[in-house]
Amino acid sequence: MPAPPALGAKAYILQDFHSGKVIVEHNADDRIEPASITKIMTAYVVFDEIQSGRLSLHDKATISVKAWRNPGVQGWTQSSRMFAEVNSKVAVSDLLRGLIIQSGNDAAIALAEHIAGSEQAFVQLMNDAATRLELKNTHYLNVTGWPMEGHYTSAHDIASLSRALIREFPEYYQLYSEKRFTYNNISQANRNAMLWKDESVDGIKTGHTEAAGYCLAASAERNGMRLISVVMGAPGSDARVKYSQSLLNYGFRFYETHHLFDGGVSLKEVRVWKGDENYLNLGVLEDLYITIPRGQYNFLKSILNIRKVIDAPVKKGDEVGQIEILLNDQPVREEPLVALNSIERGNFFQQLADQIVYLFR
């Protein structure tokens, strides 16, 4: 196995989408300024509002003076924007493309104000989502990524957020692959140059400030395997593309991901004692994937370690053992083995009968 690429960036990570396996990392948990990569979370919250039915793509938001000036009086003319006119009403569908394709700060603020009433109220939704997704090195103070002390994230958290966005909102994630968007007679290209350089790349987001350097979160899919790379603090726009391509090529060339078990499908039926039913189905709640060095699949095996005695009551999702995955007889992953159905405690006679059977066994 060749050594992973060593990159001249502040932090970076390469992670498999399905298995969550971290293939390459450097300073991945360091708290760093995210610049416009912040807008991945801005979009995540908007997608969640749409999916929950609280927001429609056809809704129209009014462009406030604050959104139009984005994000402040000093230097606002240099910030990225979709060029929405003040006091105009813009459809959420257009604002999303302005946010994702054009990296518009005006679009980000307009969406935040429309959904939550103010940018700061929307920021609370972003931080709530970060807590729910267990992004432990992330804290937001604005929706654009404008530099502020105390506004930070990590390469690892960005990768985790990207996985959640792709997994939970696949129909909206497609927006990240659109190469150009025209609004107000102004056409702007997607800032993710990798969309033109690698046909397997379909997202995600660039960022740049003087303090953060050049940043890029990218995702690519080849032959059913999806990888997410995050590069933070590269020295230039060309460097962030080169570094990201290097990480993705390394992962696809030397690793492979396999689907091992279906979520919700029984892997083992076991005896349950003192319940209103006798047998419990065990498995995993979600599909289980493994990422391993290429060519090693035939050396994989799994072991089910199940609790010796399982007494009712048992609720669906209760952990009753572990699935241990071994590669060349060495453990590489362990996942909870859980109950796939619930069994209530039996009546007096059922419990008594089981107690007698168990004593004889």
Give residues with Cβ within 8 angstroms of 126, minimum separation 6: 41, 42, 45, 140, 143
Q: Are 99 and 110 in contact (CB under 8 A)?
A: no
Tell me the longest C-alpha to C-alpha distance in the chain. Answer: 83
Surface-to-core class of residue 323, CB atoms within 10 Å of its CB (0-12 exposed, 13-18 middle, 19+ buried):
buried
3-state secondary structure (DSSP) of residue 301: strand
Beta strands in 31-100 (DSSP E): 60-62, 89-91
| Catalytic option among 19, 79, 80, 103 | 103
Closest to 212 (Cα-Cα) out of 26, 35, 79: 35
> Is residue 39 annotated as a catalytic residue, yes or no?
yes
- The alpha carbons of the chain give a radius of gyration, in whole angstroms, of 24
Tokens in use for 342?
Answer: 């619930």
CB contact at 8 A, 125 and 143: no
Q: Which residue is catalytic, options 10, 19, 21, 39?
A: 39
Beta strands in the chain (DSSP E): 11-16, 22-26, 60-62, 89-91, 180-183, 186-189, 201-209, 213-222, 225-234, 255-261, 268-271, 279-283, 288-293, 300-306, 319-327, 330-339
Beta bridge mates, 230: 13, 217
How far is 47 from 196, CA to CA, in rounded Å?
26
Q: Which of 19, 36, 154, 219 is catalytic?
A: 36
Structure tokens at 85: 């006119």
- Burial pattern 185-199, b for ≥16 Cβ within 10 A else e, equals eeebebbbbbbeebe
254 and 279 Cβ atoms separated by less than 8 Å: no
Active site residues: 36, 39, 103
